[in-house]
C-alpha cells in the first residue's frame, strides 16, 4: 500500500505526514519530534508511550497512525513546560516521583486522564489507574504521593497553567 | 513477639543548609515535563538506522553466513560481520579500571565468527536508510547452523565430560575463604544446621532500552551518545574498533535506568563500527525482546550453608558452598562471585569459616552486574539460614542474630576490620517495631513475619585503586558550575554532587549547574556502579568546592579583617559568623538575600559575586580540579581469601508481613519496612526513593521475577511473561533512615543504591516460612512452589 497523508493535532499544533499503513502512533509522534513519548516495549506492556487520544489515555504503540487521522493528541510535553509546568509535572518533580524519568511522561498522562474523570481519587484508584505503567525505580509510592499532591493543588483552583486542549 | 527499638548511640551531626534537605532534584523537572533527551531521542541529519542479527541457536557452529541479499537491498548502506571486524573483542575486564589488577575472564567476540554460544549472540550488523529497511535486511541474511551439544546447568557444566564452552573447561572463576579452624568449630557446636538455597536468572528491566547514536566528527573522533553507566568504556571501544583511545568520545545521557545492566557495553561498539564504516550518523535502539535475550542477567546461584551453633545461637563454624552460572561469556562473573563469596557469611562475626565458590559457563544469556553484584544472592541464603538456625534451636530469630551481629572493630569473613558503625540490632528492632501489630490469620490465609539484616559494600574493590575527579568553579555572577564525568542512572547521582557543592559554596541548589558523563570534556569520575558515586565523586566535589571556598574566604578575610574561620557563605552572601559578629558593633540592618538573616550587618557581609569579582581582578583561582582516591590495597591471599577488599560497608534490616493463601498458594505482602544506616542523607527524599524502589525490586525477586530458560531458550522474553512489580502488587515500603555519620563519603555518608535491594527477598522468604511453617528453598515463591511446599507437609 502507498503512504497516506495523515493529519495529527498534537498539543495544539497541526501536523500532516505521509505515513505507511504499518506506522504506529508512537513512531509517528516521535518522528514529529515528540520524544517525550517513550518507546519501552512497543507491545502495550509498559505504558511509557501513553498519550491522550481525544481525551482518552492510550498506549500509542498499540494504535496505527492511519486509525487516528484528524485526532486530537496530547502528550506529556503538551501539558506544561520547564518554565510553566503542569501541577502534575511539578508534583512529580517535588515528591521524588522522578528517578530515571523514563516512565514519567506515560505516568503523568495516565494520572491526567484519571484526574480528568475523578478529581478526588483514593490511593487505590490511583494505583489502578497506573497499573498499566511500569516503573522500575521508585516502587510507585512517591508517584502515588505526587498525584495526591497534584489533585489537591488542582482542586484548590490553581488550574491557571492548564494548556489549551490539555484538559476539560 | 513485641520488639522495641534499641536506643541509638549518641551522634553529633553538624548543622547544614543544603545537604540533608529533601530538595527537588536538579534533573527532576526536565524529566517531569518530558524534556530530557535519552539515547533514543537524539537524531542527526542523514542518520542511518541499525539493527543486529542474532543467533537463534544456543550452541552451534556457523556453517554458512551469507549477507549478500541483505547488502543488495536498496537503502541498505552497510552490513558487517566478524570478517569486517576480526579483532573486535568485547573486553570483560572490570570497566574503568586503571589499577594493576590482573584481568579476569576471557573476551567475547563483538560479532560471532565460527561459533555461537547463546541465543541472542550478535552475528551481523545492518545499517539502512530507515528502520523498516534495516529490519527487512535482517530477514534477508542467510545462515546455516550445525548444532553442537550445549550445557545449560552450572552443576552439569563443571562435571567431567560436559561440553566445553571455552577450553580448557567451563570454570570461569573460583574463590575461597579459609579462616580459623572450621573442624574445631564444628566439634564445639551443639548442633549443625544445613540447607541449600536456589535463585533464578533475573532481568534488570530498566524502562529505557539500550540505545544510542554515533557519528564521526571533523577531527575523526567517533562520538557515541548513549545511555551508559560507564563512559570509561571508551578505551575498550577504541580497542575493539581499532582506533586510538583519543579517537573515541562517549557522551553519556541521563540514563533511563541501569541497575548494573548498562555497566557492560551495550550498543556502543556496534554504533562505532557502523559509523566508522559508513561515515554517517547511525542510531541503534534495541527492542524489548532484544534487551531480554541479548543483555546480562543476575546470576543464578545454588548456595549451601552448613553452620555449627551453640544452644545460645552463637555460631562456632560455617561452611558455605556457592555455585553460580556465568552464562556463555564471563563478563563480570569472576567479580560478582568474589562479592558473593565475601558477603557469604553475612553481617556476622564468624571466627571459623570456610567458603568455596565457583562460577561456570553455560549456553545461556551471560550474567553480569545487577544491583548488589552477588550480595543479594548471598543474603537470600545467609538470612534464611539464620532463621533455620533459630527454628532448630527454638530461639527468636532476632536473638540468634543479636549474639552474632558483627560490631565495629571486629573482622569480617576476609579478616577486614569494620571501621564504621554497624547498627544492625538498631535497624532490626526499628524495622520490626514499625510492623506494629501482627495481622491475624483468617480462614485459609496464614500471616507471617520475616526480616533480614545485611551488609553490603559501597565503593569498589580496593585493589582496583579507584579514583574520581571533579572540577568545581564559580562564575562571575556567583553561580556554580560542576564538571564531573559521573553518569546519572536515575538514582540522583548528579543531584547529590550539586547539593554538596551548594552546601560548601553557600549558594542555593538552583544556582548550581552540572555537566556530566562526557569522556572528552568532563573529568573522568569512574563508573556509576558499586554504590560508589556519592562516596567517590561526592568526595571529589567536596574537595574541589572546598578548595574554591578557601580561596574565596581567604580573600574575604582581608576584606573583613577577620580570620577565614570566622567567615561563612550562605544564600550567595559572604558574612562574618554570628559568633564573631557579636563582637562587632551594630550597624544598619539590611536585607541580604531571600533567606539570609535579617540581622546581619552590611559591613559584615558581601555578595558572593562581588567577592568573585575581587578574586578575578587579582587573578586568584576560582575553580579547582580535585582527584579523590579510595584506600588502595594489594589484594587478598588467594589461598585463604584474607585481606581488605572494600573501603567500607552499609548495614541495615528489612522486615515484612506477608499473607499466604494456603488454598491458592498466593503470597501477598501486607507490610514492608526498611531501616538502613546510610551514614548521612544528602537528599532524604532521594534516599527514600532509593530504598523504597530497591525494596520493590527485591520483593519482585522474592515473589514474581524469574527469567525461565529451557535448553538455552527463554520462556519469558516479554513483560507479559517476565513479571516486574506493578503499582498494584506491593505496598509502599516504609523507610526509616538512620544517620550514624560514620561513612567514608562526604559529611559521613555511606552508600545506599545497591544495599536498598539486598534484604527484601530474604525477609519475604522468612515471612513465608513463618506463615506456612515450612521453608521453600527456591526463589521466587510462586503459587506453584508454595502449593508444592504445602503438599510436602500434608503428606
Q: Which residues of A touch B34 (CB under 8 A)?
A: 35-37, 75-77, 104-105
Q: How far is CA B743 from CA B61, B418, B423, B459, B737, in A?
A: 52, 11, 12, 11, 14
Q: What's the rounded mean pLDDT across residues A21-50?
A: 98
Q: What is the 3-state secondary structure (H, E, C) of chain A?
A: CCCEEEEEEECCEEEEEEECCCCEHHHHHHHCCCCCCCCCCCCCCCCCCEEEECCEEEEHHHCEHHHHCCCEEECHHHCCECCECCHHHHHHHHHCCCCCCCCHHHHHHHHHHHHHHCCCCCHHHHHHHCCCCCCCCCCCHHHHHHHHHHHHHHHCCCCCCCCCCCCC
Contact B164, B117 (CB under 8 A): no
Tell which of B207, B298, B493 to mutate to test the A interface (max A CBs under 10 Å): B207
B288-317 pLDDT, tens digit each = 999 999 999 999 999 999 999 999 999 999
- Residue B585 pLDDT exceeds 50: no
pLDDT reported for residue B184: 98
Q: Does B583 score more than 50 pLDDT?
A: no
Q: What is the pLDDT of residue B104?
A: 53
- pLDDT band of residue B2 (cuts 50, 70, 90) is confident
Tens of pLDDT, residues B389-413? 999 999 999 999 999 999 999 999 9
In a domain, B400, yes or no: no
On whether both B213 and B79 belong to a single domain, the answer is yes
| Region of B372 on the Ramachandran plot (φ > 0 left; ψ -120 to 50 alpha; else beta) | left
Q: Which of B629, B663, B678 is the last residue before a domain boundary?
A: B629
Same domain, yes or no, for B733 and B784?
A: yes
B672 and B533 share one domain: no
**Per-residue confidence (pLDDT) for residue B644, from 0 to 100:** 96
Least confident among B11-15, B383-387, B564-568: B11-15
B423/B497 same-domain check: no
pLDDT at B597: 47
Query: For residue B260, what are the contacts with CB-CB under 8 A and spacing of at least 6?
Result: B204, B229, B296, B368, B369, B370, B371, B373, B529
Instruction: State how far the Cα of A94 lies from the Cα of B710, in Å rounded to an integer.
Output: 45
Q: How far is A78 from chain B (nearest CA, A)?
A: 8
Residue B103: its pLDDT value, please? 47
Domains and CATH numbers, chain A: 4-78 (3.10.20.30), 87-155 (1.10.150.120)
Same domain membership, residue B527 and residue B478: yes
User: With 60 as the cut, is the pLDDT of residue B100 above it?
Assistant: no
Q: Identify all chain B residues contacting A35, using CB atoms and an 8 Å cutoff.
A: 34, 37, 40-41
User: CA-CA distance, B132 to B137, in Å (whole number)?
Assistant: 9
Same domain, B446 and B547: no
Q: Are A75 and A108 in contact (CB under 8 A)?
A: no
Residue B551: all three cell numbers together: 580561596
Q: Can you give the pLDDT at residue B89?
A: 85
- Same domain membership, residue B666 and residue B784: yes
Please tell me the predicted confidence (pLDDT) of residue B86: 83
Q: What mean pLDDT comes out for the span B157-186?
A: 95
Residues B617 and B754 both lie in one domain: no
B-chain CB neighbours of A94 within 8 Å are 24, 28
pLDDT value of residue A166 = 37
Kindly state the average pLDDT of the residues B646-668.
98
**Mean pLDDT of all residues in B210-235:** 97
Res B592 pLDDT > 90: no
Residue B672 lies in a domain: yes
Rounded to an integer, the average pLDDT of B590-599 is 41
User: Which is more confidently placed, B108 or B488?
Assistant: B488
For residue B264, give the CATH number of its domain: 3.90.1170.50
How many CB pairs below 8 A link A and B? 182
pLDDT value of position B580: 61
Q: Is residue B361 part of a domain?
A: no
Which of B265, B294, B323 is the C-terminal boundary of a domain?
B294
Q: Are strands B734-738 and B667-677 parallel, antiparallel or unpaired?
A: parallel
> What percent of chain B stands above pLDDT 70?
95
Question: Residue B362 in 3-state DSSP?
Answer: coil
**Per-residue pLDDT tens digits for B629-650:** 999 998 899 899 999 999 999 9
For the record, the C-alpha cell of A115 comes out as 484526574
The total of structural domains in chain B comes to 3
B759 has a pLDDT exceeding 80: yes
Mean pLDDT within A16-34:
97
pLDDT(B622) > 60:
yes
**B190 lies in a domain?**
no
pLDDT at B166: 87
Asked if B492's CB is within 8 angstroms of A101's CB, the reply is no
**What is the band of B586 on the pLDDT scale with cuts at 50, 70, 90?**
very low
Residue B451 forms part of a structural domain:
yes
**Torsion region of B570: left, alpha or beta (phi above 0 gives left; psi -120 to 50 gives alpha):** beta
Nearest CA distance, B42 vs chain A (angstrom):
9
Q: Are B289 and B240 in contact (CB under 8 A)?
A: no
Q: Are residues B144 and B287 in the same domain?
A: yes
Q: Is A66 exposed, middle or buried (0-12, 13-18, 19+ CB in 10 A)?
A: middle
Instruction: Provide the pLDDT for residue B107.
Output: 80
- Alpha carbon distance A7, A17 (integer Å): 7
Chain A within 8 Å of B728 (Cβ-Cβ)? yes
Instruction: List the single range of B180-194, B257-271, B570-584, B772-786 with lowest mean pLDDT.
Output: B570-584
- Per residue in B128-169, pLDDT (tens digit) is 999 999 999 999 999 999 999 999 999 999 999 999 998 889
Tell me if chain A has a CB within 8 Å of the CB of B298: no
Query: Is the predicted pLDDT of residue B494 greater than 90, yes or no?
Result: yes
For the residues B334-349, what does the mean pLDDT come to?
Answer: 96
In a domain, B455, yes or no: yes
Q: Which candidate from B208, B689, B725 shows the least CB-CB separation from A96?
A: B689
Confidence of residue B95 (pLDDT cuts 50, 70, 90): low
Query: Which of B225, B292, B727, B729 should we substitute to test contact with A (largest number of A Cβ atoms within 10 Å)?
Result: B727
Mean pLDDT of chain B: 94
Report the pLDDT value the prediction gives residue B690, as an integer from 0 to 100.
98
Q: Is B318 exposed, middle or buried (0-12, 13-18, 19+ CB in 10 A)?
A: buried
ipTM: 0.95
Query: Residue B56: its pLDDT value, please?
Result: 98
CA distance B726 to chain A (A): 6
CB contact under 8 A, B32 and A90: yes
Distance of CA A1 to the CA centre of its chain: 31
Where does a domain end: B279, B294, B309?
B294
pLDDT digits over B718-748, tens only? 999 999 999 999 999 999 999 999 999 999 9
Q: What is the CATH number of the domain that holds B505?
A: 3.30.365.10
Q: How confident is the model at residue A162 (pLDDT cuts 50, 70, 90)?
A: very low
Range B164-194 burial, b when 16+ CB lie within 10 A, else e: ebeeeebebbbbbbbbbebeebbeebeeebe
B 753-792 residues inside an 8 A Cβ radius of A = none
Identify whether residues B747 and B763 lie together within a single domain: yes
Three-state helix/strand/coil letters over B363-378? CCCCECCCCCCCHHHH
pLDDT above 90: residue A11? yes
Would the CB atoms of A77 and B34 count as touching at under 8 Å? yes
- Better-predicted residue by pLDDT, B767 or B578: B767
Please name the member of B35, B685, B727 whose beta carbon is closest to the beta carbon of A77.
Answer: B35
Contacts of B30 in chain A (CB under 8 A): 82, 101
pLDDT cut 70: percent of chain A above it: 93
pLDDT value, residue B794: 76
Q: Helices B533-560 & B608-617, crossing angle to 10 degrees?
A: 80
Q: Is the pLDDT of residue B79 over 60?
A: yes
Q: Is residue B478 part of a domain?
A: yes
Number of CB atoms found within 10 A of residue A56's CB: 10
B327 falls within a domain:
no
Q: What is the pLDDT of residue A54?
A: 97
pLDDT for the residue numbered B793: 77
Confidence band of B328 (pLDDT split at 50, 70, 90) = very high
Mean pLDDT, rounded, for A61-74:
98
pLDDT mean over A118-127:
98
Are B143 and B242 in the same domain?
Answer: yes
Interface contact flag, A136 B732, Cβ < 8 Å: no
**B489 contact residues in A (CB cutoff 8 A):** 100
How does residue A157 score in pLDDT terms, banded at 50, 70 and 90? Answer: confident
A-chain CB neighbours of B285 within 8 Å are 39
Domain that holds residue B616: 467-629
B658 and B736 belong to one structural domain? yes
Amino acid at each position: 500500500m502507498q503512504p497516506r497523508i495523515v493529519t495529527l493535532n498534537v498539543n495544539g499544533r497541526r501536523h500532516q505526514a505521509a505515513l505507511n499503513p504499518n506506522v504506529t502512533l508512537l513512531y509517528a509522534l516521535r518522528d514529529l519530534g515528540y520524544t517525550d513519548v517513550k518507546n519501552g516495549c512497543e507491545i502495550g506492556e509498559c505504558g511509557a508511550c501513553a498519550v491522550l487520544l481525544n481525551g482518552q489515555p492510550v498506549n500509542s504503540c498499540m494504535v496505527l497512525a492511519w486509525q487516528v487521522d484528524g485526532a486530537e493528541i496530547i502528550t506529556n510535553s503538551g501539558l506544561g513546560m520547564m518554565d510553566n509546568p503542569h501541577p502534575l509535572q511539578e508534583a512529580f518533580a517535588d515528591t521524588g516521583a522522578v528517578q530515571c524519568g523514563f516512565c514519567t511522561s506515560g505516568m503523568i498522562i495516565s494520572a491526567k486522564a484519571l484526574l480528568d474523570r475523578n478529581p478526588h481519587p483514593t490511593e487505590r484508584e490511583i494505583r489502578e489507574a497506573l497499573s498499566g505503567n511500569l516503573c522500575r525505580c521508585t516502587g510507585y509510592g512517591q508517584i502515588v504521593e505526587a498525584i495526591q499532591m497534584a489533585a489537591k493543588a488542582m482542586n484548590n483552583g490553581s488550574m491557571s497553567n492548564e494548556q489549551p486542549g490539555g484538559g476539560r | 513477639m513485641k520488639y522495641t527499638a534499641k536506643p541509638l548511640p549518641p551522634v553529633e551531626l553538624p548543622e547544614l543548609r543544603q545537604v540533608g534537605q529533601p530538595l527537588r532534584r536538579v534533573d527532576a523537572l526536565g524529566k517531569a515535563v518530558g524534556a530530557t533527551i535519552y539515547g533514543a531521542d537524539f537524531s542527526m541529519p542523514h542518520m542511518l538506522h541499525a539493527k543486529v542479527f542474532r543467533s537463534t541457536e544456543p550452541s552451534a557452529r556457523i556453517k554458512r553466513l551469507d549477507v549478500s541479499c541483505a547488502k543488495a537491498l536498496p537503502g541498505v548502506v552497510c552490513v558487517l560481520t566478524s570478517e569486517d571486524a576480526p579483532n573486535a573483542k568485547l573486553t570483560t575486564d572490570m570497566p574503568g579500571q586503571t589499577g594493576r589488577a590482573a584481568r579476569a575472564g576471557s573476551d567475547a567476540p563483538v560479532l560471532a565468527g565460527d561459533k555461537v554460544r547463546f541465543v541472542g549472540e550478535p552475528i551481523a550488523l545492518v545499517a539502512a536508510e530507515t528502520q523498516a529497511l534495516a529490519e527487512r535486511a535482517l530477514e534477508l541474511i542467510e545462515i546455516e547452523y550445525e548444532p553442537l551439544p550445549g550445557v545449560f546447568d552450572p552443576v552439569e557444566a563443571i562435571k567431567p565430560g560436559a561440553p566445553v564452552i571455552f577450553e580448557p573447561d567451563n570454570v570461569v572463576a573460583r574463590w575461597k575463604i579459609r579462616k580459623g579452624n572450621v573442624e574445631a568449630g564444628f566439634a564445639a557446636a551443639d548442633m549443625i544446621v544445613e540447607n541449600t538455597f536456589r535463585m533464578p536468572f533475573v532481568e534488570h528491566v530498566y524502562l529505557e532500552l539500550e540505545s544510542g547514536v554515533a557519528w564521526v566528527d571533523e577531527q575523526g573522533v567517533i562520538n557515541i551518545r548513549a545511555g551508559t553507566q560507564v563512559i570509561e568504556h571508551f578505551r575498550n571501544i577504541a580497542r575493539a574498533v581499532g582506533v586510538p583511545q583519543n579517537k573515541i568520545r562517549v557522551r553519556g545521557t541521563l540514563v533511563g535506568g541501569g541497575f548494573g545492566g548498562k555497566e557492560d557495553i551495550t550498543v556502543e561498539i556496534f554504533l562505532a563500527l557502523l559509523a566508522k564504516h559508513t561515515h554517517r550518523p547511525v542510531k541503534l535502539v534495541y527492542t524489548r525482546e532484544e534487551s531480554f535475550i541479548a543483555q546480562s542477567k543476575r546470576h543464578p546461584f545454588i548456595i549451601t550453608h552448613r553452620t555449627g551453633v551453640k544452644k545460645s545461637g552463637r555460631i562456632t563454624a560455617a561452611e558455605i558452598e556457592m555455585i553460580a552460572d556465568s552464562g556463555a561469556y564471563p563478563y563480570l562473573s569472576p567479580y560478582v562471585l568474589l562479592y558473593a563469596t565475601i558477603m557469604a557469611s553475612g553481617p556476622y562475626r564468624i571466627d571459623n569459616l570456610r567458603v568455596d565458590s565457583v562460577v561456570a559457563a553455560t549456553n545461556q544469556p551471560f550474567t553480569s552486574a545487577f544491583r548488589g553484584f552477588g550480595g543479594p544472592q548471598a543474603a537470600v541464603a545467609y538470612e534464611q539460614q539464620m532463621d533455620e538456625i533459630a527454628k532448630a534451636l527454638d530461639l527468636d530469630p532476632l536473638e540468634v542474630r543479636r549474639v552474632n551481629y558483627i560490631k565495629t572493630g571486629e573482622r569480617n569473613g576476609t579478616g577486614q576490620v569494620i571501621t564504621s558503625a554497624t547498627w544492625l540490632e538498631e535497624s532490626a528492632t526499628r524495622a520490626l517495631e514499625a510492623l506494629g501489630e501482627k495481622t491475624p490469620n483468617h480462614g485459609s490465609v496464614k500471616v507471617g513475619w520475616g526480616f533480614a539484616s545485611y551488609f553490603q559494600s559501597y565503593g569498589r574493590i580496593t585493589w582496583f585503586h579507584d579514583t574520581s575527579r571533579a572540577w568545581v568553579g564559580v562564575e562571575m555572577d556567583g553561580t556554580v558550575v560542576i564538571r564531573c564525568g559521573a553518569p546519572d542512572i536515575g538514582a540522583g547521582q548528579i543531584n547529590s554532587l550539586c547539593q554538596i557543592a551548594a552546601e560548601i559554596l553557600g549558594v542555593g541548589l538552583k544556582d548550581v549547574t552540572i555537566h556530566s558523563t562526557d569522556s572528552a570534556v568532563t573529568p573522568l569520575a569512574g563508573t556509576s556502579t558499586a554504590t560508589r558515586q556519592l562516596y567517590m565523586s561526592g568526595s571529589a566535589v567536596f574537595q574541589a568546592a572546598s578548595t574554591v571556598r578557601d580561596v574565596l574566604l581567604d580573600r574575604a578575610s582581608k576584606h573583613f579583617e577577620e580570620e577565614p574561620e570566622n567567615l561563612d557563605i550562605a544564600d550567595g552572601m559572604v558574612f562574618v559568623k554570628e559568633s564573631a559578629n557579636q563582637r562587632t558593633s551594630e550597624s544598619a540592618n539590611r536585607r541580604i538575600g531571600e533567606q539570609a538573616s535579617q540581622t546581619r550587618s552590611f559591613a559584615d557581609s558581601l555578595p558572593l559575586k562581588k567577592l568573585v569579582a575581587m578574586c578575578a581582578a587579582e587573578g586568584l583561582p576560582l575553580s579547582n580540579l580535585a582527584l579523590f582516591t579510595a584506600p588502595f590495597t594489594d589484594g587478598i591471599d588467594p589461598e585463604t581469601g584474607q585481606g581488605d577488599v572494600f573501603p567500607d560497608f552499609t548495614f541495615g534490616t528489612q522486615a515484612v508481613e506477608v499473607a499466604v493463601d494456603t488454598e491458592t498458594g498466593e503470597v501477598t505482602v501486607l507490610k514492608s519496612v526498611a531501616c538502613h544506616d546510610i551514614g548521612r542523607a544528602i537528599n532524604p527524599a532521594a534516599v527514600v526513593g532509593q530504598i523504597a524502589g530497591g525494596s520493590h525490586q527485591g520483593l519482585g525477586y522474592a515473589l514474581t521475577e524469574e527469567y525461565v530458560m529451557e535448553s538455552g531458550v527463554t520462556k519469558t522474553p516479554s513483560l507479559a511473561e517476565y513479571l516486574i512489580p506493578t503499582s498494584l502488587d506491593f505496598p509502599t515500603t516504609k523507610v526509616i533512615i538512620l544517620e550514624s555519620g560514620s561513612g567514608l563519603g562526604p559529611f559521613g555518608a555511606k552508600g545506599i543504591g545497591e544495599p536498598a535491594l539486598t534484604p527484601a527477598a530474604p525477609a519475604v522468604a522468612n515471612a513465608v516460612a513463618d506463615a506456612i511453617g515450612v521453608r521453600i528453598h527456591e526463589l521466587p515463591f510462586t503459587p506453584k512452589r508454595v502449593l508444592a511446599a504445602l503438599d510436602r507437609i500434608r503428606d
